Amino acid sequence: MTSPEHSPLGKHTVYADRYDPTLLFPIPRQGKRDEIGVQEPLPFRGVDIWNAYELSWLDMRGKPVAAVAEFHVPAHSPNIIESKSFKLYLNGFAQEPLASAAALSALLQQDLSRAAGAPVLVHIREPRAAMHAFADLEGELIDALPIAIDDYGPPKADYLRADTAGNVVEETLVSDLLRSNCPVTGQPDWGSVQIRYRGAPIDREGLLRYLVSFRTHNEFHEQCVERIFVDVMKHCAPERLSVYARYTRRGGLDINPFRSTDAQSPDNIRGARQ
């Protein structure tokens, strides 16, 4: 059973403190992609970047080791990994004796790749060596636009439009007002989003209204970013497009999906709210 309602979300949980790969709960991406008309071949490339700030295990003398980990799950993988199951799985190493960080990395890569259905990259670093410098998403912030808003969901793609009579532009627009909700528990997910494109100028007021209309929407982080990408492509038809969201962490994990018409991956910056 791989639908969200069968996941550990919203259920009383006994936290394991020994290694257990069966805790990972994969959810197929295709169900939500069907809703937005995404089929193979995918119209985007991308990656889901996860940062784990609560990772610990025991060395062979029983002394705890603390670390920070970074995971890259490719957008072409058939599954996402449900975040609570990911946290439970990582917590399972707390009392697990391991010979080295390299041994842990090999286990993580093996188990996460199996759950995602595609190779997952894993980087483990010492906590003080792993802290990313704080950096805002690059681009022009549109949140100060003096507009009245009374629509908070579901997402309204009709707000999106571009001036097809205008000159082609290359610009990057940013908002810190992205908010959506967990589709199982209803808990809010807060984030910032960057939209980088080349094409006819996108109407900024319409874009901001559209992003705010996610405010009461129930969907996982990865699914929201893919919906934004598909809606902007459909209604604004840019030549190139990248959508990158940086979400605040919950339970020691943050999730940062990136979808793009280009092949490059983004920098794993750390936003001020992260």
Out of 48, 111, 182, 231, the active site residue is 182
Cis peptide bond prior to 8, omega within 30° of 0: no
DSSP states of 168-196: PEEEEEEEEEEEEE-TTT--EEEEEEEEE
83 carries a ligand binding annotation: yes
29 is in an annotated binding site: no
> For the chain, where are the alpha helices, taking DSSP H only?
30-35, 83-91, 101-116, 127-130, 204-212, 221-236
Q: Is 10 annotated as a binding residue?
A: no
* Residue 94 CB-density burial (10 A; 0-12 exposed, 13-18 middle, 19+ buried): middle
Maximum Cα–Cα distance for the chain, whole Å? 69
Residue 182 among the catalytic residues: yes
CB neighbour list of residue 5: distance below 8 Å, 6 or more residues apart: 184
Prior bond of 155 cis (ω within 30°)? no
Is 221 assigned to a binding site? yes
Determine how β-strand 140-141 pairs with β-strand 169-181. Answer: parallel
> 3-class SS at 122?
strand
11 is in an annotated binding site: no
The annotation status of 81 as a binding-site residue, yes or no, is yes
Catalytic pick from 48, 176, 189, 254? 189
Structure tokens given for 181: 């909700």
Task: Please indicate if the annotation marks 171 as binding a ligand.
Answer: no
250 labeled binding residue = yes
Kind plus residue range of the DSSP H or E element containing 66 = strand 64-74
DSSP designation for 35:
H
Apex 212 CA angle, 190 and 161, nearest 5: 135
Binding residues for NADPH: 83-84, 250-251
Binding residues for substrate: 81-83, 221-222
Binding residues: 81-84, 221-222, 250-251
Active-site amino acid positions: 182, 189
